Amino acid sequence: MIPTVSSTGAVPYAPSVPRTPGRRPTRRRPGDPPRPPRCALSIRGVHRPGYPLVRGFLRCLPPPAPGRGADRSGSATIHRGGCLRGRVAWNSASTIIRHPRLLVGGGSSGDNFVGHGVSELVVQLNGRTWTLDPSRSYTLGRDPQGDLVVDDARVSWRHATLSWSGTAWTVEDQGSTNGTYARGGRVRRLEVGAGSVVHLGNAADGPLLEFSAAAAGVPAAGAPAAVAAPQAPARQPQQYGGGPGPGPGQPPAAPAPQQQVPPQHTPRPDQEGMSPQSGAPLHGDHRSPTTFHQFALGRVMRIGRALENELVVSDLQVSRHHAEFRSTPDGRFEIRDLGSHNGTYVNGQPLPKSGSAVIGPDDVVGVGHSAFRVVGDRLEEFVDTGEVSFSARHLTVKVDGGKVILNNVSFGVPEKSLVAVIGPSGSGKSTLLRALTGYRPADIGEVLYDNRNLYKQFAELRQRIGLVPQDDILHKELTVRTALRYAAKLRFPGDVAGAERNARVEEVLAELKLDIHAAKKITSLSGGQRKRVSVALELLTKPSLIFLDEPTSGLDPGMDRDVMQLLRGLADDGRTVLVVTHSVAELALCDRLLVMAPGGGVAYFGPPDEALNFFGYESWADVFSAFENYRDYDWIGRWQGSQHYRRYAADIDAPAPQAYQYAQYAGPAARPPKPQSWGSQLWTLTRRYTSVIASDKGFLALMVILPVILGTVSTVIPTEYGITRNPNGFNQHAGTILLILAVGMCLAGAANSVRELVKERVIYERERATGLSRSAYLMSKVIVLGVITAFQGVIISVIGFSTRELPDEGLILPANVELCVGIIAFGLTSMMIGLVISSLVKTSEMTMPLLVGFAIVQLVFTGVLFQVFDSPGIEQLAWLMPSRWAVGVLGATVDLSRTMAPWDRENPTNLDPLWEHSTGVWVMDLLILLAMGVACGFAVARLLRRHEPEVMRG
C-alpha cells in the first residue's frame, strides 16, 4: 500500500484494526482519556506498527518491509490536497534525505535535500544572515543577550520572536512600543515565508527583516554544521486517537516518551568572546535608559514631582521632594530620602525615612515607577512603562501535614499580554494567584517581576501590581466617583493635591467609559459595570501587571464577553493581565492559556487555540470530565513530556527550585512605608466610613428604631418604686429593669459591629497591601461605631429611666448620668466583642447565631437571675463576662444589693460585693468593663493580621 502523507495537522496514524464491514469506527465520548499531542504531519494508509519518530514535519514513517533486516531505508509518495506533491526518501538511520519543500501557503518547489524535513528559513537583517532552526525560537530586539540584536532606538529591548508553529514560521510582536509592520500595517502575529518582508519600529524605514528559502546543505542557525543523525530509539506500539481507546473506567495511556536533542545556542557573530553578563541590564525592567543626567562631583540632584527639582518625575506615587543624589568630592555617590511618603528603595529594599545609603555602579535606586543607576559620571533613568515580563518558577505550596496544594508550577508571561488560568475545582487556582501576588508566598520557588524577585522586593514592586479579587473591593453604598476619590486619597502620597487626585480619577473613569456612571451608586450598576469600577480602582496607580480573580463569575454571556474585551484592551494598551476564570467562552481573546490539573500542577500552557488539540478533545466540557474521571492520571508528566512544554515552558522551568523563607526578608527595615501619615489615614477612613453609613438609609433607620424598641420594652415592667428601695420591703423589679436595659444595650452594641469587618475583608486585604495602617483602620471603626453606640445608649437610657423613679443622688455624678454612663460603657464593650466575632468568622451569615448566643450568655451571668457570688467556678467564670461588671456599675449606683432581697435569707448581710453602694466599687466596675473593651481591641488587631499579605504582617 502506498502511504498518503497529510500536512493538515491530522492525528498521527495509529496501528489500525481491521473493521467489520458496515461497522462505524469508535467515536470519542466525553470523559474518554486524553490523546497524546498531535503531530503536524502524518502518514496514513499503513497497517503495520512501529513507526520511528524523526525530527521535523514527517514524524511517522513506516518500518522496513519484511525480509530487509536492518535496512530501514525507503521512500513514499506524498499527496497534499489530493494532488501528488513528490516523493519522500529516508535512509537506514531513519533520516529524511529527500522531501518536497512545503512552503507557507501550500504548494511545493520540487525536491530538496536537507537534514530535517522541515521548512527552514533564512532571515537577513542589517547585512547579516541567519538560517533558522525550527527546533527553537529566536528573540529580536536591542537586548544584547537576544538572538537577533537590532541596534536601533525604535526597536524595543525585546521586540518580537521568530518561531516555528508546527505549520509555518511566525513573527510575533512582544508588545513593542513602536510596533511590527508588514505590508504597511501593524501586526501582532504574522506567518512568514520565502519572500516575506517585515519592518520593526516603523512601517516605512524601520529595520528590515527579509525572509528567503534555505539553500541546500546549509546548516541551521544555532546548530552544528554537520551532526550525525542518531538512531531512532525503539518504541513500544502506542495508541493514538484514530485507534481504539481504553475501555470505560480505564486510566488514560501516557504519551510515549520522545528522545530529544536539546537545542544548542551558538554565539552570534556579534557575541563571540562576549561574557554572558556583559552589556546585560541589572534587572529585566531596566531596558535601554529612558534618559541620562550628567552628574558632576560635589553636586546635589533632587528628585520629585515639584518643578523646582533637578529631576522632575511625573508620577503621583512620588512625593514633591522625594529624594536627592549627592556626589561627594572623593567620588562616592549617596542617595538620601527626603521624608518621602512611598519610600526610596535601594535594590528593592526601602531606606529608613530621611535615611541615606552609599550606592555603587551595581546598585539600583527605585523611586515610584522610575529607577536610577549611576554609570560613570552620569545618572541613567529607567521608567517602567509596562514592558515587563513576569514568570513563576517551581512554585510549590504545602499546608499543614505536608499536603501539596500547588505542585511545581512554572510558566512565563510575555510583555503586554492577556493570560487566562482555568482548571477544575481544587486545582489550586486561588492558591496560585495568592502565590503570584505575594499574599501567600510559595514555600518553594520564586516569582519574578521582570527578573526581580517579587517576594524579596515586594515593598517596592507592590505599587506596580494590581489585584482585582472576585468580590468587589469598593463600598457599594458610595457613588463611583466618591469611592474612587477616597481610594485615591488613601493610595497617593499625602502631598498630592486634591485637584491632582481628582484629575487622575476622571482620567481613569474616561479610559474605562465609566464617566457616564460616575454619579451612580455602585449598587445600581450591573455586574460587568461593577467589575469595571474595581478595575478602575487598580488603574489609579498605573500598574504594569494586573491580576483578576473570577471577574466574570455570575455574569451572563454578554457581560462575560464585555469584561474579557475590557481586559484585552488593557493588555493592548501596555499592561500585562492575568485572569483566573471558570469561563471558557472567550479564551480566544487571550495570548496564553494556563490549564491547572487536579493536584495543583500544570496540565498545559501555551496558545489557547492549541489547547483542545493538545488534550485531544473537541470541547472543554470533555477536558474537564477527563480531569474528574482520571484524577490519578499523571497530567503533569504528560505536559512535561510534550512539545508544547519544550516550546513554551522548558526555558522557564530550567533553574533549580529555591526554597522561600519569609523570615529571611522580613524585618523592620524591609516593611513597606505608608503613603500617608497615621493621622491622615485615620481621618480619611473615618470620613469614608461615615459616608458609607450615611448613604445606607436602612441602617440609619434601624440605628434609631432598635434602641427605641429596647428602651420601650423595659417600661412595660410594672413597679411602684422604680429602681429605688421599697420602704416597706424589697424591690425585686429594680433588678429586672436594669437587666433588660443592660442586655438590650449589649445586643444593640454588638449588632452594630458584628458584620463590619467580615463584610469588608476583601477591601481591607487589598488596601493593606497598598500601605493601609491596620491600627488606623481599626480605630476608624471604633470611632464611628462608638459614636453610634453611645447615641443608642443615650436613647435607651432616656426612655428606660425617664419614666422611673431614681435615687436622689449618685456616687460621683447625678444618678441618671451615672446610669447612662454604665449603659454606654457596656454598649462600647459589647461593640468591641462584636468586632472580635466579625474578625473570627468567615462569612456574614455566621455572625447572627454567634450574636444571639453572646447576648444569652450575658443575660445568664448578670447576677440578677441567680446568686453568682460565693459560687465556686460560676463566680470566676462570671468575672469574664462584661454583663457582670456592667450590672455592677448600675447596681452600685442604685445600691442594688439592698434594693433587691438578699439571696441568702439566713444570712441577709451576705451581699453581692460588686453591687456595693460605694465610689470605689463603682469606679472598679467601670474600669474593668472598659478594660475588657480595650483588650478586645488588641485581640481584633491581632486577628486582622490573618487577612494580610505575609510581608505586611507585623
* Count of beta carbons in the 10 Å neighbourhood of residue 585: 13
Which own/partner contact pairs does 838-842 have at CB distance under 8 Å and 24+ positions apart? 838/753, 838/754, 838/755, 838/756, 838/757, 838/758, 839/757, 839/758, 839/940, 839/943, 839/944, 840/943, 841/758, 842/758
If asked whether residues 475 and 620 sit together in one domain, one would say no
Q: Considering 185, 212, 239, which residue would you say is the last residue of a domain?
A: 212
| Single-letter amino acid code for the residue at 910 | N
| Single-letter amino acid code for the residue at 615 | F
If asked whether residues 446 and 487 sit together in one domain, one would say no
DSSP secondary structure of 776-838: HHHHHHHHHHHHHHHHHHHHHHHHHHHTS---S--SSS-HHHHHHHHHHHHHHHHHHHHHHHH
Q: Indicate whether 326 belongs to any domain.
A: yes
Distance CA 426, CA 620 (A): 17
If asked whether residues 751 and 876 sit together in one domain, one would say yes
Distances (CA, A) of 926 to 708, 825, 883, 915, 930: 25, 7, 11, 12, 6
If asked whether residues 501 and 566 sit together in one domain, one would say no
Q: Considering 383, 413, 430, which residue would you say is the last residue of a domain?
A: 383
Beta bridge partners of 160: 140, 173
Distance CA 557, CA 442 (A): 34
If asked whether residues 460 and 492 sit together in one domain, one would say no
Distance CA 285, CA 383 (A): 8
User: pLDDT, tens digit, for every residue of 204-233?
Assistant: 778 888 888 866 444 444 433 333 333 323
Beta bridge partners of 210: 124, 197
Distance CA 655, CA 412 (A): 13
Q: Indicate whether 867 belongs to any domain.
A: yes
Q: What angle do CA 527, 528, 532 make, to 5 degrees?
A: 115
DSSP secondary structure of 146-212: SSEE---TTS-TT-EEEEE-SSSEEEEE-S-SS-EEETTEEESEEEE-TT-EEEES-TTTS-EEEEE
User: pLDDT, tens digit, for every residue of 111-151?
Assistant: 333 333 455 688 888 878 888 888 788 888 887 778 888 88
Q: What angle do CA 317, 320, 322 make, to 5 degrees?
A: 75
Q: Indicate whether 102 belongs to any domain.
A: no
Are residues 599 and 404 in contact, defined by beta-carbon separation less than 8 angstroms? Answer: yes
Q: Considering 156, 185, 212, which residue would you say is the last residue of a domain?
A: 212
Q: Indicate whether 902 belongs to any domain.
A: no
Burial class (CB in 10 A: 0-12, 13-18, 19+), 666: middle
Report which secondary-structure segment, H or E, holds 952. Answer: none
Return the pLDDT at 222. 40
When divided into structural domains, the chain yields a total of 5
Distance CA 155, CA 141 (A): 6
Structural domain harbouring 505: 471-542
If asked whether residues 458 and 606 sit together in one domain, one would say yes
Distance CA 864, CA 208 (A): 92
From 280, 283, 340, select the one nearest 306 (Cα to Cα): 340
Q: Give a three-class secondary structure readout of 119-160.
A: CCEEEEECCEEEEECCCCCEEEECCCCCCEECCCCCCCCCCE
Return the pLDDT at 98. 39
C-alpha cell at 396: 510549590
If asked whether residues 454 and 323 sit together in one domain, one would say no
Q: Indicate whether 206 belongs to any domain.
A: yes
Distances (CA, A) of 143 to 283, 288, 385: 12, 9, 17
If asked whether residues 557 and 497 sit together in one domain, one would say no
If asked whether residues 406 and 503 sit together in one domain, one would say no
Q: Indicate whether 814 belongs to any domain.
A: yes
Are residues 348 and 459 in contact, defined by beta-carbon separation less than 8 angstroms? Answer: yes
If asked whether residues 740 and 855 sit together in one domain, one would say yes
If asked whether residues 833 and 737 sit together in one domain, one would say yes
Return the pLDDT at 95. 41
Q: Within 13 Å, how many C-alpha atoms sit on residue 639's CB side?
A: 23
Return the pLDDT at 383. 84
Beta bridge partners of 300: 326
Dihedral in degrees, nearest 10, Cα atoms 697, 701, 706, 707: 120
Identify the CATH number of the domain in which residue 577 sits.
3.40.50.300
The chain-wide mean pLDDT, for the chain, equals 77
* Pairing status of strand 418-422 against strand 592-597: parallel
DSSP secondary-structure letter at 521?
Answer: B
Identify the CATH number of the domain in which residue 186 sits.
2.60.200.20
Beta bridge partners of 140: 148, 160
Are residues 893 and 822 in contact, defined by beta-carbon separation less than 8 angstroms? Answer: yes
From 115, 76, 90, 87, select the one nearest 216 (Cα to Cα): 115
474-491 burial, b for 16+ CB within 10 Å, e for fewer? bbbbbbbbbbbbbbbbbb
If asked whether residues 379 and 475 sit together in one domain, one would say no
Enumerate residue ranges in the chain where pLDDT < 50. Answer: 1-28, 36-73, 75, 77-117, 216-286, 660-669
Return the pLDDT at 656. 52
Q: Indicate whether 312 belongs to any domain.
A: yes
Q: Indicate whether 56 belongs to any domain.
A: no
